[in-house]
Structure 1
Amino acid sequence: MPMDTPSILRAPRGARRYGRGQALILGLVFLMVLCVGAILLFNTGQTVTKKIQLTNSADAAAYSVAVQQARTWNFAAYMNRGRVANEVAIAQMVSMYSWLNQTNDSTITLWKVLRWGQAIPYVGAAFKAAVQIFKAIDQGMRVARRAFHVAASAGIPILDGFNQVFADASRLMIEAAGGAEAGMVIQDVVEANSPKARVSPASWVLLSSQYVFAKDKFLQAHNVRAGKRSRGGDRYRNVVMESRDEFSRDRSDELNLFLFGWEAKGGTDMVDYNRWAALDVMDGEVFFGVFKGAFGNGGAQALPSGTKNFYPGIRSGRNNGSGWYSDYDRRTYAAYNGIGQRRGRKAQRDPNVRAANGQRRGAYFRGYHGLSDYHDVADRSGHRYGREPEGEDAGPTFTVEVELDNADLRTAHRVGLGAGRMELKEQTQKNRMAAMSSAQIYFNRPNSLFPRVIRGKTDRHRESGSLFSPYWQVRLVETPLAARTALGIGGVVAP
């Protein structure tokens, strides 16, 4: 055999027989690992799907219950705004009648004074014509006053009655917001998102405490009582006084002509929480100061039935009754737009045009009850509730924990996949799966989109949260540590 011919090595025939079947064993091992991996993947997919479903259920439940609370607060804000609007309307009626009285009284004074000018040569005819004009105005004013008094006497009790209804509706909504209806909302939302899930017992206890905090700590019920000054009453009156229209706030006017001139002044104030009082006066001079003094007086007052006929200024309040204090301007305004005490007393003695046979009691509108109880954001030391749209004090937080029993998980063990060594049993704490979520109510009225307008002027200040403005919103937030701790302890001790 040539030297360069390679030799072929052959295995013995018996050795090939002993090597058969090794690949089959290795394949079975790989197949077993593959089956375990498939079962594990199936369990993981089912668990993750249920966990996501539980998380979505908790998010939806927490958000829904917070939305219910926010809507309740916004409803209360609309009711309070409606009450303020009605108070302003009552103030307008009182202001209008007071102004009509003063105008009628001034008209009578003018035509009586102008009669003396009829004897002046060359201009007597003009004075005679002026007298006739003012007499006609006098007659028209008397008719207008009578008609307006009838309308205001009916309108003021109606508006006051609506305010009582608004107050009751607001109080009932706030009191009922955390009751059985809230529990039904949570149950319905959880059932709709995860039919077999339920709210944990510890979560119900935590929600109850959060409801109590929202109603009794974050909000505050103010009792407004006439004759008893309170911080809540001053707050409400301040809002109403700031909301007055310009006619109710300031009826100052002046006119200077050739032979005569006058200056009118008037204003309307809320006194003692349960009465609107208005005064109007006119002072002037005729014939270059020959006749100088008070031309006319007028007044009106809305007050409860059975109240004595008196005409006080703002005697209760700050600065010994010198006026009312504006929290917005941080200053005190004089009563009745600055009508002095001497001039005011003179107007109070004749508020209903005695010269036209008007009686003093005719200047009063009965059936008005004044400000009633209301809710607002609490002002407590150490907290800035609702002042900023961020942080824990921005608004109350509601936390919901949703749980699901292991028996309701569709894992391989539950559907019968795998047995013996292939069986994979799920292990969870207390044989349940849980997810928690929190939602917070907060107040935000962006000044760039909704600029504040106070007495016709726009400012750049951020509006603080209150139940006089319906801008309460809801957002999902990270669950506070205190809530996590409470649920953790509750989950351990719960049966």
Structure 2
Amino acid sequence: MKKQRGQSLVVGLMFLPIIVLFILYLYNVSQQNLHKTRLQNTADAAVLSSSQYLVRELNFKAYTNRAMIANHVAVGQYVGVASWFNFLVETIDNIEDVARYIPYVGPVFSQAEAWVDNINEVAVQPGMEIAVRATDLVNNALSMSQDIMAYASSATMIESLNDVIKVNDNQASLDAIAAPTLANTLFNDWRGFQGDFNRQDNSGRYNDFYKVILNSRDPFMKNRSHEWPFPFTIDIISFCFLGMSMNYWTKQAGGTDLVNNGRYDPETWTSMDTLSWHKEWFKKSLFSSGCRRSELEIGWGAAHAGEDKDTGQFRNRQYYGRSRMINRDASNRARYNESEFNNAYGGIYDFYSIKKINKSNDAPPVTIVVSKSINDIQSSKSLNIGTINEATTKEIDIHIEEHVQVPRNQQSSASKARIYYYRANDLWKNSKFEYGNLYNPYWQNTLSDIDNNQRRDLLLLLASFNLAGA
């Protein structure tokens, strides 16, 4: 039995190198997997945070588009107020011309006419012109800010990519093969997805913007037309066919419209207000007889801003709350009592919109590749465990590294961010669905899978860089 002592020690010593090699191999593999996971997390964090700048760009343009639309409508409101005050002054003045001969009543209207006229000339008209000019300056600044944001977001995105990568893994960096992909995204896909437009646009984006402004007008701007109640209006069964009638109507009409003046001239905000008294009467002549209506003009006023065209040049009967149909004679007089804010309003400035409207809520995605050198990964070789410096010893290098051919001696991870538009359905009173646009700021981003075609393209780029020795 004594001769068998120490046999397990001999066997243990025989397997000890294998056990050590296995442990070191597991260490190397785990280190590579650990760094691969860390590298993937770094790529995900970098693409998600950096693509947020592009999301902010889209939302910024949506906010500024909304602001410019609101400002355009505000200019229309200023023009409408100027028109209405001109109309008020003219109405009181015309009534005063008649009322001055009525004891006690005449002085009241004379004083009111002087007071309102003074307010209009000293405060209202200059104030509205200043308001139009200030609002137009803001719109111009907002238009330019969209251009600045368009270029600044791309530059900031690249800077953010590098910063986030270094914060998460100081040994990693944006791979050179990501440059063509990013360049194509930022300078081709991204600029092809959205761009700036003006009145010379033929794609329909200008018309969309123009219609949104018109549809954003409040009731005061769209239509100020109404019929005054009794006793200013009496509308009973007509006996005009018997040669007699007691019917008459007092009608006020007005509205504010934005008129497009073609591809090269600024738009015009134009406004008109009128008041007339209409009487029904019987007219008999040699050739015909029947009921007629006559119009007595009581008041009129107008205003415009932008391209120098007064209300006399806009004959569309749907303009101004259909004033030309309701109070035709008073409407023809309005041009002679009209305020002009021509230079104060520059029309619709350049704005950004999605170039091609389709049933899609996705903007171009962002894909990056992050890499780090294999030599930066801690392993048995970098720790001089299991490998000997052959320059100072004759012992054999046992090479326990995982022998996997890595292109360019680097470890790489790709990541992709999806940029999409989403507006919750519960914000609607019905089941409508809203597609991506630059009028509402509901753009956001998330991580997305890389499809097989894009993986193939990245592999081809990787192979070409490997052949080039990059």
Amino acid across the alignment from 1:182: M
User: CA 1:44 to 1:222, structure 2 compared with 1: closer, same or farther past 3 Å?
Assistant: same
Q: Choose the corresponding residue for 2:297, options 286, 289, 294.
A: 294
Q: Choose the corresponding residue for 1:76, options 50, 56, 61.
A: 61
Amino acid across the alignment from 2:413: A
Amino acid across the alignment from 1:400: I
Q: Choose the corresponding residue for 1:59, options 20, 44, 51.
A: 44
Tell me, in whole angstroms, the C-alpha distance in 2 between the residues paired with 1:26 and 1:240.
90
CA deviation after TM superposition for structure 1 residue 477, in Å: 0.9
Q: 2:449 maps to which residue?
A: 478
Q: Is the 8 A contact 2:423 2:442 kept in 1?
A: yes
- SS of the residue corresponding to residue 271 of structure 2 reads strand
Tell me, in whole angstroms, the C-alpha distance in 1 between the residues paired with 2:109 and 2:430.
45
Q: Is the 8 A contact 1:352 1:363 kept in 2?
A: no
Q: 2:392 maps to which residue?
A: none
Tell me, in whole angstroms, the C-alpha distance in 1 between the residues paired with 2:342 and 2:309.
12
Tell me, in whole angstroms, the C-alpha distance in 2 between the residues paired with 1:376 and 1:395.
12
Amino acid across the alignment from 1:436: A
Question: Which runs of structure 2 are paired with 1:18-33 in the superposition (5 Å)?
Answer: 19-33=4-18
Q: 1:235 maps to which residue?
A: 208
Q: Choose the corresponding residue for 2:198, options 218, 223, 226.
A: 223
CA deviation after TM superposition for structure 1 residue 297, in Å: 1.8
Q: Choose the corresponding residue for 1:88, options 70, 73, 77.
A: 73
Q: Is the 8 A contact 1:224 1:230 kept in 2?
A: no
Tell me, in whole angstroms, the C-alpha distance in 2 between the residues paired with 1:300 and 1:230.
32
- SS of the residue corresponding to residue 38 of structure 2 reads helix
CA deviation after TM superposition for structure 1 residue 310, in Å: 6.2
1:256 aligns with 2:240: no
CA deviation after TM superposition for structure 1 residue 269, in Å: 1.2
1:163 aligns with 2:134: no
Tell me, in whole angstroms, the C-alpha distance in 2 between the residues paired with 1:74 and 1:348.
46
Q: Is the 8 A contact 2:223 2:321 kept in 1?
A: yes
1:395 aligns with 2:368: no
1:340 aligns with 2:324: yes
Amino acid across the alignment from 2:211: N
User: CA 1:240 to 1:344, structure 2 compared with 1: closer, same or farther past 3 Å?
Assistant: farther
Tell me, in whole angstroms, the C-alpha distance in 2 between the residues paired with 1:164 and 1:372.
6
User: CA 1:339 to 1:258, structure 2 compared with 1: closer, same or farther past 3 Å?
Assistant: closer
Question: Which runs of structure 2 are paired with 1:95-114 in the superposition (5 Å)?
Answer: 95-112=80-97
Q: Is the 8 A contact 1:283 1:293 kept in 2?
A: yes
CA deviation after TM superposition for structure 1 residue 55, in Å: 0.8
Q: 1:446 maps to which residue?
A: 424
Tell me, in whole angstroms, the C-alpha distance in 2 between the residues paired with 1:290 and 1:141.
32
Amino acid across the alignment from 2:167: A
User: CA 1:209 to 1:302, structure 2 compared with 1: closer, same or farther past 3 Å?
Assistant: same
Q: Is the 8 A contact 1:98 1:351 kept in 2?
A: no
Q: 1:5 maps to which residue?
A: none
- SS of the residue corresponding to residue 40 of structure 1 reads helix
Give percent identity, aligned residues only: 24
User: CA 1:230 to 1:142, structure 2 compared with 1: closer, same or farther past 3 Å?
Assistant: farther
CA deviation after TM superposition for structure 1 residue 236, in Å: 1.4
Q: C-alpha root-mean-square deviation of aligned residues, in Å?
A: 3.0
- Greater mean alpha carbon deviation, residues 484-493 or residues 278-287: 278-287
User: CA 1:234 to 1:82, structure 2 compared with 1: closer, same or farther past 3 Å?
Assistant: same
Q: Is the 8 A contact 1:284 1:295 kept in 2?
A: yes
TM-score, normalised relative to structure 1: 0.78
Post-superposition CA distance 1:127-178 (Å, at most 9, x none): x555554444333331232121111122212211111111111112113322
Q: Is the 8 A contact 1:87 1:240 kept in 2?
A: yes
Amino acid across the alignment from 2:446: R
Q: Choose the corresponding residue for 2:272, options 264, 267, 279.
A: 279
Q: 1:49 maps to which residue?
A: 34
CA deviation after TM superposition for structure 1 residue 92, in Å: 0.6
Q: Is the 8 A contact 1:395 1:441 kept in 2?
A: yes
User: CA 1:363 to 1:405, structure 2 compared with 1: closer, same or farther past 3 Å?
Assistant: closer
Amino acid across the alignment from 2:208: R
Q: Choose the corresponding residue for 2:151, options 175, 178, 185.
A: 175
Amino acid across the alignment from 1:162: V
TM-score, normalised relative to structure 2: 0.81
Q: Is the 8 A contact 2:259 2:267 kept in 1?
A: yes
CA deviation after TM superposition for structure 1 residue 115, in Å: 6.8
- SS of the residue corresponding to residue 459 of structure 2 reads helix
Q: Is the 8 A contact 1:99 1:280 kept in 2?
A: yes
CA deviation after TM superposition for structure 1 residue 246, in Å: 2.4
- Greater mean alpha carbon deviation, residues 155-164 or residues 212-221: 212-221
User: CA 1:190 to 1:259, structure 2 compared with 1: closer, same or farther past 3 Å?
Assistant: closer
- Specify every segment of 5 or more residues in structure 1 that has no aligned partner in the other structure, as ranges: 1-15, 119-127, 316-321, 324-333, 354-359, 387-393, 452-457
Tell me, in whole angstroms, the C-alpha distance in 2 between the residues paired with 1:485 and 1:344.
72
Q: 1:186 maps to which residue?
A: 161
Q: Is the 8 A contact 1:67 1:474 kept in 2?
A: yes
Q: 1:13 maps to which residue?
A: none
CA deviation after TM superposition for structure 1 residue 259, in Å: 5.2
Q: Choose the corresponding residue for 1:374, options 337, 346, 351.
A: 351
Q: Is the 8 A contact 2:205 2:355 kept in 1?
A: no
User: CA 1:256 to 1:217, structure 2 compared with 1: closer, same or farther past 3 Å?
Assistant: same
- SS of the residue corresponding to residue 424 of structure 1 reads coil
Q: Choose the corresponding residue for 2:386, options 400, 414, 418.
A: 418
- SS of the residue corresponding to residue 140 of structure 1 reads helix
User: CA 1:475 to 1:42, structure 2 compared with 1: closer, same or farther past 3 Å?
Assistant: same
CA deviation after TM superposition for structure 1 residue 32, in Å: 2.9
- SS of the residue corresponding to residue 269 of structure 1 reads strand
- Deviating 4+ runs (over 6 angstroms): 286-291
Q: Is the 8 A contact 1:174 1:215 kept in 2?
A: no
Tell me, in whole angstroms, the C-alpha distance in 2 between the residues paired with 1:90 and 1:56.
51
Q: 2:116 maps to which residue?
A: 141
Amino acid across the alignment from 1:488: L
